[in-house]
């Protein structure tokens, strides 16, 4: 008994509240309050000072729901910052099905700092915005840890922003103008400007980067007045704000808001938008979130029910102009690109369901419009676009997802509709702003390295199948996703080589605005994109025998497919949403 008491007393002396805190893990912020972080290590064993779960805004609850974010009030003393804050309330509908996770109190960020940087100068800062269709995801270490990037002398910041209805409900009035998730991101950038110097960072060398809708967020920040001057460089991976999915028509947004209000027993008339919003603020977050799946027309399509909108003029607006009409942002150095088989995100997710496979075969004309985002246009235009897409990609093929040829062509259609066209549209837009920008500060890539693990495994739930390079597979090279989510994968020697090359190029760009600023025997010089047909860096091997180079400069960015989608998007831009298709 005495021995047990002694052991208990001994162990209690190691309580978190009693342990010594190293001076390097204490940081005082601009408002006078401080943080106590924790110690981590990078892939190569370098020390990392990690400050996690740092509140940057007041909890967006009560009257702050569906409102601009409010900076976190100062606190006295030191706040323990040693674990991720809660994820924002969501359904992780891509990977976890019907599981509701997260909290409305979720506006937290993480800061990762080298313990012993090689330079005494302030370090460049990289701020990451996660993907997830504006509906799901997190910026926490659980997904986007610092293990790889912090092998270099750089500070990494990641954070949560409001998602789904909580981040993007819009009544197209001042009662709820929308874009709250994007405004959260702008507040993160302001927090960085005010505080990153206390961590040894350079507020004048901030690079924002993001993947999927995170990439769209990045390019949105290049044109938003709310983010002007808060960063110096940008990297958009697999997404831009000129994709067919990136901007929600105000009429669609209002209709969705009214539909939600109606099922929540709130006023739903357009003339009662104030009462509608006030009523929704009184409802429980969980009850509101429970209606997430009400807005899909086929399976989980259209995938974005709540997204960015053009706001009515208001103080603190993130976006109140048509993005294509905004003539700024071209001066910001930019990297952007895609993975080679983006559309596997959609095509492989269909394979696990015999019902979905049958729908593709028998309901092609019905399902293609919501999958490719033109379901709100007139019946005549929908038919025309469906015929054009069918003829270009799958003409004469039996629409059987188990047929390898049809599966590949379907995947290409999804790749181009969602991602390749979004990149090309942004390059065209950027060239119109300044004819020399594509020759001076814009870098394009295609990532086609299929590593030991791929996100297609989680979507199709078949770890042994190799369909290609799936949407988000580039994330595996920048963040330790395999450690957290691919438990049975072991990185190959080539995986490690690609990882090191990508980390080097991404950090070089953050430091210099050029991914290959010096001669390197392992990397070719990454040339700027130039005029169409574009120059691009291929990251990964060609599939053909004899082409063994891992990374090389190439010319021609899916030219025929890009030109086809230019025509499709031009037709969409020349038409307007059909009100009857919304109601």
Enumerate the active-site residues: 212, 342, 471
Helix, strand, or coil here: 237?
strand
**Count of beta carbons in the 10 Å neighbourhood of residue 330:** 21
Instruction: Give the CA distances from residue 534 to residues 265, 296, 364, 446, in Å, rounded to whole numbers and listed in that order.
Output: 53, 36, 33, 11
Give a three-class secondary structure readout of 350-378: HHCCHHHHHHHHHCHHHHHHHHCCCCCCC
Contact 541, 550 (CB under 8 A): yes
Helix, strand, or coil here: 461?
coil
Helix, strand, or coil here: 210?
strand
At 422, list the tokens. 């979004």
Round to whole Å and give the CA distance between 198 and 30: 8
At 438, list the tokens. 């594509």
- The closest alpha carbon to 163, from 220, 252, 100, belongs to 100
Helix, strand, or coil here: 27?
strand
Q: Is the dihedral of CA 552, 556, 557, 558 positive or negative?
A: negative
Q: What is the DSSP letter of 103?
A: B
Contact partners, residue 267, CB within 8 Å, separation at least 6: 261, 275, 276, 279
Q: What is the DSSP letter of 416?
A: I
Round to whole Å and give the CA distance between 534 and 23: 50
Contact partners, residue 130, CB within 8 Å, separation at least 6: 137, 138, 139, 143, 144, 158, 210, 211, 214
At 319, list the tokens. 């976006």
> Strands, E, within 21-153: which ranges?
26-28, 34-36, 38-41, 47-55, 78-80, 90-91, 100-101, 108-114, 123-129
> Strands, E, within 378-472: which ranges?
442-447
- Judge if the upstream peptide bond of residue 302 is cis by omega within 30 degrees of 0: yes
Instruction: Give the CA distances from residue 41 to residues 27, 114, 550, in Å, rounded to whole numbers and listed in that order.
Output: 19, 9, 28
């Amino acid at each position: 008994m005495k021995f047990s008491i002694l052991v208990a007393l001994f162990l209690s002396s190691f309580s978190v509240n009693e342990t010594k805190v190293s001076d390097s893990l204490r940081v005082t912020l601009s408002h006078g309050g401080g943080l106590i972080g924790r110690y981590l290590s990078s892939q190569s064993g370098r020390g990392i000072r990690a400050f996690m779960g740092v509140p940057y805004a007041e909890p967006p609850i009560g009257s702050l729901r569906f409102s601009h974010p409010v900076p976190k009030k100062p606190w006295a003393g030191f706040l323990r910052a040693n674990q991720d804050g809660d994820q924002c309330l969501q359904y992780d509908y891509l990977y976890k099905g019907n599981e509701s996770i997260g909290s409305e109190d979720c506006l937290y960020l993480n800061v990762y700092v080298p313990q012993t940087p090689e330079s005494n100068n302030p370090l460049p800062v990289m701020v990451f915005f996660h993907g997830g269709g504006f509906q799901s995801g997190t910026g926490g270490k659980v997904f986007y840890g610092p293990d790889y990037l912090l092998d270099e002398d750089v500070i990494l910041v990641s954070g949560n922003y409001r998602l789904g209805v909580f981040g993007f409900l819009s009544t197209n009035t001042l009662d709820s103008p929308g874009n709250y998730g994007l405004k959260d991101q702008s507040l993160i950038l302001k927090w960085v400007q005010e505080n990153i110097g206390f961590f040894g960072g350079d507020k004048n060398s901030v690079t924002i980067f993001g993947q999927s809708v995170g990439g769209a967020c990045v390019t949105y920040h290049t044109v938003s007045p709310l983010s002007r001057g808060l960063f110096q460089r940008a990297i958009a991976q697999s997404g831009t704000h000129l994709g067919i999915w990136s901007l929600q028509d105000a009429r669609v947004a209002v209709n969705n808001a009214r539909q939600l209000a109606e099922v929540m027993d709130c006023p739903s008339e357009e003339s009662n938008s104030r009462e509608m919003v006030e009523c929704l603020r009184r409802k429980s977050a969980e009850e509101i979130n429970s209606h997430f799946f009400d807005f899909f027309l086929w399976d989980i399509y259209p995938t974005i029910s709540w997204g960015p909108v053009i706001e009515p003029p208001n103080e603190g607006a993130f976006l109140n102009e048509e993005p294509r009409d905004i003539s700024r942002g071209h001066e910001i150095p930019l990297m952007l690109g895609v993975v080679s088989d983006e559309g596997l995100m959609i095509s492989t997710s269909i394979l696990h369901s015999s019902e979905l496979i049958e729908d593709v075969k028998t309901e092609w004309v019905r399902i293609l419009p919501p999958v490719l985002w033109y379901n709100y246009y007139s019946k005549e235009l929908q038919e025309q676009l469906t015929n054009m897409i069918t003829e270009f990609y799958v003409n004469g093929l039996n629409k059987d997802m188990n047929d390898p040829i049809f599966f590949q062509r379907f995947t290409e259609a999804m790749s181009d509709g969602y991602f390749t066209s979004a990149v090309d549209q942004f390059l065209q837009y950027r060239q119109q702003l300044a004819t020399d920008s594509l020759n001076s500060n814009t870098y394009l890539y295609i990532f086609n390295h299929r590593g030991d693990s791929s996100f297609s495994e989680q979507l199709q739930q078949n770890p042994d199948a190799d369909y290609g390079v799936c949407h988000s597979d580039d994330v595996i090279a920048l963040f330790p996703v395999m450690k957290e989510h691919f438990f049975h994968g072991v990185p190959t020697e080539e995986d490690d080589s690609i990882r090191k090359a990508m980390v080097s190029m991404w950090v070089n760009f953050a430091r210099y605005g050029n991914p290959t600023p010096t001669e390197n025997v392992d990397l070719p010089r990454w040339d700027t994109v130039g005029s169409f047909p574009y120059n691009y860096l291929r990251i990964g091997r060609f599939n053909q025998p004899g082409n063994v180079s891992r990374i090389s400069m190439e010319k021609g960015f899916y030219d025929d497919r890009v030109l086809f989608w230019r025509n499709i998007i031009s037709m969409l831009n020349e038409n307007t949403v059909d009100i009857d298709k919304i109601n």
